[in-house]
């Protein structure tokens, strides 16, 4: 491509993207991803940067954060911290590349930008990945809600602590009640912009969780009751080797938000590539800080006893004053946090199902929206009753769909469209290749580790 005549390059661009006039990203900053008759109105309305940050942060800060202390238990304090920071940095690079090529191709959804680069078969595969990934994540949310409120074989639920043995010990019943009366109304909204306020509340509750967790850890450090943590993996344990194979895929689950990039961009007021990149960078910094503090405090508090869902560890005496009250605040606060997060993830799940069934990138009509929502919630409820814990779900979705959506598809999009007249630097091309190769290797190793751990 470097030796090709510039006029030939421009001609190829016009043929590949006839609605665009220039290959440079900066010249497409004002173009909407939604290309409809009232696009001029939608550009001047919608969410501001803070609202978009809240929605994107809510997409990221979900149940994945609860598994991070367990990943630090496997990796050790220092290696775990470095991994969280590096994963956040790489994820932000892939998000910015995805935004750039989505605007360039005027794609209204994740599936559309995949279609523009890789064809219809790849689009269908990407939408199936979104469905599997998001359905798996939402099942995890329901498992967490059930475990925290009603308990499980290893932990006592909040309702038992409050009322003793009652009908509320029935985990399936509690999940059903919360699903019908709390989650279903939130999932019925047609636009992601409608969830801006609840997303802000979700981020605030996540910050509250981190603050209290860090406060407890600080008090225990002052009291000298925190054990000295490992800085790296414990290679004396045979289980460590299988856990190491799946720990990076599990961490990738925490950062995958790519399927919601286009909807959030679509609802961004006066949208541009620079503004969306600013949203992504602010969100990444916020999430890296929250993830790192959660993983550090959780691992320091519970050490090698850290559960796959650290929230379930907060059912015991923490060895400080007001321990019981703090436990309740942490667990109930995070359950309330998961509800708007559930709605955000469900939105992109519904959009992917609509695109697959009705060929609509933006699902239209209340009957379709409510019908798909009802069917999905029923299936998710059944899944929550069938999967034993969140570690199992995260291992498989992290090794397959999360890596595909977060790194494999974005890399392929960049490499394919980068050969068709777009401005792609050598550095960007090298980064795309590195992301693609590493993601494939980690995916294969993660799958092997997941299957082996099940057999063991």
Write out pLDDT tens, residues 234-292. 777 666 677 777 777 777 777 888 888 888 888 888 888 899 999 999 999 998 998 99
pLDDT for residue 394:
64
Beta pairing partners, 156: 151
pLDDT for residue 455:
60
Count Cβ atoms below 10 Å from residue 161 Cβ, excluding itself: 14
Q: Which residue has the tokens 């082996």?
A: 452
15 pLDDT tier (thresholds 50, 70, 90): very low
Q: Is the pLDDT of residue 313 over 90?
A: no
Mean of the pLDDT values across residues 140-164?
Answer: 82
Q: Which residue has the tokens 């790194």?
A: 407
Burial 109-132 (b: 16+ CB within 10 A, else e): bbbbbbbbbbeeebbeebbbbbbb
pLDDT for residue 437:
93
C-beta separation of 205 from 57 below 8 A: no
Token code pair at residue 183: 């989650």
Q: Is 47 helix (H, G, I), strand (E, B) or coil?
A: strand
For the chain, which domains are there?
49-455 (1.20.1740.10)
334 pLDDT tier (thresholds 50, 70, 90): confident
Count Cβ atoms below 10 Å from residue 319 Cβ, excluding itself: 13
pTM, 2 dp: 0.76
Least confident among 7-21, 341-355, 437-451: 7-21
| Per-position DSSP letters for 250-311, written without gaps between them | HHHHHH--GGGHHHHHHTBTT--HHHHHHHHHHHHHHHHHHHHHHHHHHHHHHGGG--SSGG
Beta pairing partners, 151: 156
C-beta separation of 43 from 30 below 8 A: yes
């Amino acid at each position: 491509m470097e030796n090709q005549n510039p006029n030939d390059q421009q001609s190829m661009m016009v043929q590949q993207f006839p609605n665009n006039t220039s290959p440079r990203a900066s010249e497409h900053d004002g173009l909407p991803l939604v290309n409809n008759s009232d696009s001029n109105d939608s550009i001047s309305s919608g969410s501001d940067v803070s609202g978009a940050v809240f929605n994107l942060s809510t997409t990221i800060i979900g149940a994945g954060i609860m598994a991070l202390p367990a990943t630090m238990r496997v990796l050790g304090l220092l290696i775990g911290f470095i991994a969280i920071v590096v994963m956040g940095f790489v994820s932000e690079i892939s998000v910015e590349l995805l935004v750039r090529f989505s605007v360039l191709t005027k794609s209204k959804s994740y599936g559309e930008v995949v279609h523009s680069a890789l064809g219809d078969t790849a689009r269908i595969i990407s939408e199936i990945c979104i469905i599997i990934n998001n359905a798996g994540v939402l099942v995890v949310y329901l498992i967490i809600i059930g475990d925290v409120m009603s308990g499980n074989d290893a932990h006592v639920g909040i309702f038992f602590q409050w009322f003793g043995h009652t009908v509320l010990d029935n985990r399936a019943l509690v999940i059903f009640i919360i699903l019908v009366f709390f989650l279903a109304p939130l999932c019925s909204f047609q636009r992601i912009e409608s969830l801006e306020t609840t997303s802000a509340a979700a981020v605030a509750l996540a910050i509250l969780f981190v603050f209290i967790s860090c406060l407890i850890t600080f008090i225990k450090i002052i009291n000298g009751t925190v054990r000295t943590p490992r800085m790296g993996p414990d290679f004396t344990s045979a289980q460590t080797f299988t856990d190491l194979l799946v720990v990076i895929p599990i961490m990738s689950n925490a950062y995958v938000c790519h399927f919601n990039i286009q909807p959030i961009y679509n609802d961004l007021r006066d949208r541009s590539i620079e503004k969306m990149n600013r949203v992504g960078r602010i969100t990444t910094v916020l999430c890296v800080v929250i993830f790192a503090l959660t993983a550090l405090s959780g691992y320091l508090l519970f050490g090698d006893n850290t559960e796959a869902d650290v929230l379930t560890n907060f059912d015991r005496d923490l060895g400080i004053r007001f321990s019981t009250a703090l436990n309740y605040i942490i667990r109930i606060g995070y359950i309330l946090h998961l509800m708007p997060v559930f709605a955000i993830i469900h939105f992109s799940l519904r959009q992917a199902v609509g695109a697959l069934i009705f060929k609509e990138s933006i699902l239209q009509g209340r009957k379709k929206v409510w019908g798909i929502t009802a069917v999905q919630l029923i299936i998710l409820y059944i899944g929550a009753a069938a999967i034993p814990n969140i570690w199992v779900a995260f291992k498989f979705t992290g090794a397959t769909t999360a890596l595909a959506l977060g790194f494999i598809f974005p890399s392929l999009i960049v490499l394919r469209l980068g050969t068709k007249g777009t401005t792609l630097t050598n550095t960007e091309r090298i980064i795309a290749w590195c992301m693609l190769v590493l993601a494939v290797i980690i995916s294969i190793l993660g799958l092997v580790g997941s299957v082996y751990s099940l057999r063991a």
